[in-house]
Structures are given as structure tokens and as C-alpha cells.
Amino acid sequence: MRRSYHPALVLMALGALSGTLGTSFLDFNIGEAPQPGIYMVLTGLWFGLVVAFGLWRWGNSLPAALVTAVGATWLGWELAVNLALQFEQPWYKATSLPEGAKSYISGFLAGAVGAFTTWAGAASFTQPLRQPVVALAVTGVGALFGLLLPMTNSYDHPVILLLPWQAAVAAMLGFWLAPETELDRAVAMGPASGE
């Protein structure tokens, strides 16, 4: 009998691998921080491939769905990085926020934006992901794990943020991509009449 692993576990492992791999080749950028630009290009691409694999395996294997997932995930990464850079540099200087709060706020917001954009790309062709609760769950997990940004900045190593963030967001997508089981169907149907 062939053993089948839950999509959340598989995508979590692939997300962790992607997050680790995403810390390589970091110098491939177009732009000069903190100005808007295209940063750490391969980091978003690796994670986009993880999301596309999840859709291909458990969601929607149409080429348009896979390309959209990769593109939206990469775009989400770029939006998140640029938002964090802008908030921590020019926008922060225009506010009266305490110094310690800026990285937490920018990490939370950037994590939410990256996760929401990733979800939107994955959900655009995949019915099980097109529920408000899924959007909230994926975005919330991304925002919470975005709170690791200050630790990443302190230790100057992106794996502290990338590995857990990508693993958690991928796992959350996998949780909702899981095929319906007999138990799920029985619970959804409720007790049979006359019992």
C-alpha cells in the first residue's frame, strides 16, 4: 500500500527548502535599497514553484493556473520586500513611531501583503482556496511570521525569516488543498434522518 502524505506536510517541507534556497544568490537585484526595485529575485521564484507544485498536485494543473501562481507569488515577494524597505526607511522617518516598533510593523505588513498576493494567485484558478476563511488564514499566518523581520535584521541572516515564513504559508495553502476524506463528507452530511 502506497503511503500518501498530507499536502500541508509536503508543502511545508518544500517551503522550508525554498526558504533556505532563497537565501542564496541574494545579490541578483535591480535597484538600490531602500529605493523601490526588484530584490532577491530568485527567492520569490523558488517559493512560486512550491506554490505551483501544490496546485499541480492537489489543486488545478492547468498551465494558466501554474503560471499565475508562480507570477503572483513572485510579485507578492517583491511587493513585500519593497513595502518593508519603504516603511523602515523613508516612511518611518516621517512618523513618530518608536524605533523598536518599525521592524515589527513593517514585517507584519509585508508578511501579510506577500501572503495575500500568494493566496490570490493560487486561488484564482483553484476553487478550494476561494473562500474568505482561506484568504484570512493564509494572510494571517504570513503576517504573524512576518514578525520575525526584526530578528532577521538583528542577526543579519534572511533564513531566520524566509524558512519559517515560507514553510508556514505553504503549509496553510496545503491544509486547504487537502482532498476531502470520507469523514469530511460524513460530517458535512450530518446525521441521517430517522437515527
- pLDDT at residue 195, rounded to an integer: 45
pLDDT at 139 over 70: yes
Which of 5-9, 13-17, 38-42, 183-187 shows the lowest mean pLDDT across its residues? 183-187
What's the whole-number average pLDDT of the chain?
A: 85
Predicted local distance difference test score (pLDDT) of residue 162: 92
pTM for the model stands at: 0.85
How many whole angstroms separate alpha carbon 195 and alpha carbon 188? 16
Residue 163 has pLDDT above 60, yes or no: yes
57, pLDDT greater than 80: yes
**Which has more pLDDT, 36 or 93?**
36
Q: Which of 24-38, 142-156, 159-173 has the lowest mean pLDDT?
A: 24-38
Interval 79-138: pLDDT, tens: 999 998 887 776 556 667 777 788 899 999 999 999 999 999 999 999 999 999 999 999
What is the Cα–Cα distance from 158 to 156, expressed in whole angstroms? 7
Q: Which pLDDT value is given to residue 193?
A: 45
